[in-house]
Structure 1
Amino acid sequence: MKKELEHSFVNELEKNQNIVHKVCKIYTNDPDSHNDLFQEITIQLWKAYPKFRGDSKFTTWMYRVALNTAITLYRKSKKRIKTQDIEGLVYKIKTDNYDDTEEKQLKLMYDAIKQLNDIDKALIFLYLEDKNYAEISETLGISEVNARVKMNRIKTKLKTILNP
């Protein structure tokens, strides 16, 4: 029984691990933190997996566990002393043929999203994952109307951040 459970979990995690990576990208700033958060989310998913009843889709359940874990760790980390990432100080040589416009725009968007509060980050993340408002409300435990209202406010907030 335990081997079947383990095999089922590993199979589902492998199929849907991009969800966890995307959550990690929103809540971390460097590769080490990303890997740490990925590991912690995986541990929490494994601990909770035996209680997964299948009332919702596996991915919906996975989003909920991943976001809750990230938010919990993010709140704990805000209490720590801030340090500067040395990677940001390294100069990179740009080639003439490489157009990084899209990459820069994505970075600006991620930087803007990181300025949002925890719940807003989760909501915009699910929205960018093309989840409908029913799925967003189910994942976050809020009403569809509340999700729509919050989403409109988040869009306005992001426009303000990106176009001061």
Structure 2
Amino acid sequence: MQKDLEIKFLADFEKNQNIAHKICRLYTTNNDAHKDLFQEITIQLWKNYPKFRGDSKFSTWMYRVALNTAISLYRKSTRKVKTQDISDVAFKIKSNDYDDTEERQLKALYNAIRELNDIEKALIFLYLEDKPYKEISEALGISSVNARVKMNRAKEKLKNILNP
């Protein structure tokens, strides 16, 4: 019985682990923090897997567990003194033939998303994953109408952050 549970969990997790990585990317700013959060999400998923009843898709349930884990760890970390990882400081010499516009835009988007509150981050993340509002509302535990309203507000907030 336990072995079957492990096999099923590993199969479900491997198919959907990109969800955890994307959430980690939203809530962390360096590789070590990303690895720590990914590990914590994995632990929480495994601990809670026996409670997964299959009422929704595994990916929807995984979003919910991963987001809740990231949000709770993020809240704990905001109480700590912030430090900057030395690997974040780098000197770059740009080549004339390299256009990093897309890279800069993506970095700006992630920085703007980090300024949003927890629910708004989750909404934008799920939206960028092309999830339907029904699945977004299930993952966040809100109604579809409320998800749409909050999404419009989050998009507007992002526009204001990116284009003040």
* TM-score band, normalised by shorter chain: over 0.9
Structure 2 spans left out of the alignment, 5+ residues: none
1:96-141 CA distances to partner (integer Å, 9 max, x unpaired)?
Answer: 3322111110000000000000111001100111011111111100
- Percent of aligned pairs with the same residue? 72
1:91 alignment partner, SS class: coil
> Which amino acid is 2:133 matched to?
Y
State the superposition RMSD in angstroms. Answer: 0.9
Residues paired across the two proteins, number: 164
TM-score of the two chains, using structure 2 as the length reference:
0.97
1:104 alignment partner, SS class: helix
The answer for the alignment partner of 2:158 in structure 1 is: 158
Deviation, 1:12, is: 1.0
1:28-77 CA distances to partner (integer Å, 9 max, x unpaired)?
Answer: 00000000000000000000001111010000000000000000000000
Give me the whole-angstrom Cα distance separating, in 2, the residues matched to 1:147 and 1:78: 26
The answer for the alignment partner of 2:105 in structure 1 is: 105
Q: Does 1:15 align with 2:15?
A: yes
The answer for the alignment partner of 2:46 in structure 1 is: 46
Structure 1 spans left out of the alignment, 5+ residues: none
The answer for the alignment partner of 1:61 in structure 2 is: 61
TM-score of the two chains, using structure 1 as the length reference:
0.97
Give me the whole-angstrom Cα distance separating, in 2, the residues matched to 1:45 and 1:19: 12
Give me the whole-angstrom Cα distance separating, in 2, the residues matched to 1:119 and 1:107: 20
1:91-130 to structure 2, matched below 5 A, reads: 91-130=91-130
> Which amino acid is 1:138 matched to?
E
> Which amino acid is 2:66 matched to?
A
